[in-house]
């Protein structure tokens, strides 16, 4: 069984949007599946495009 964690940078302001990261445990290590500087960019990762 692996664990997956969605991390949100809750320090959002009008000029600095929240960052988003998705990491997953695989065996004894953690791997970053996606990271983006804002939510809109993070959604592009779900479409298979780079943020």
Q: Does residue 20 contact residue 39 with C-beta atoms inside 8 Å? A: yes
Residue 17 tokens read as 């949007």
Span 23-39, pLDDT tens digits: 999 999 999 999 998 88
pTM: 0.79
Decide: residue 11, CB within 10 A, 0-12 exposed, 13-18 middle, 19+ buried. exposed
With 80 as the cut, is the pLDDT of residue 4 above it? yes
Quick one: residue 29, left, alpha or beta (phi over 0 = left, psi -120 to 50 = alpha)? Answer: beta
The pLDDT of residue 21: 94
């Amino acid at each position: 069984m692996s664990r997956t964690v969605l991390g949100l940078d809750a320090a959002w302001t009008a000029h600095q949007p929240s960052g988003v990261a998705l990491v997953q445990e695989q065996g004894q290590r953690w791997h970053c599946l996606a990271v983006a500087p804002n939510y809109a960019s993070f959604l592009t990762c779900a479409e298979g495009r780079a943020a």
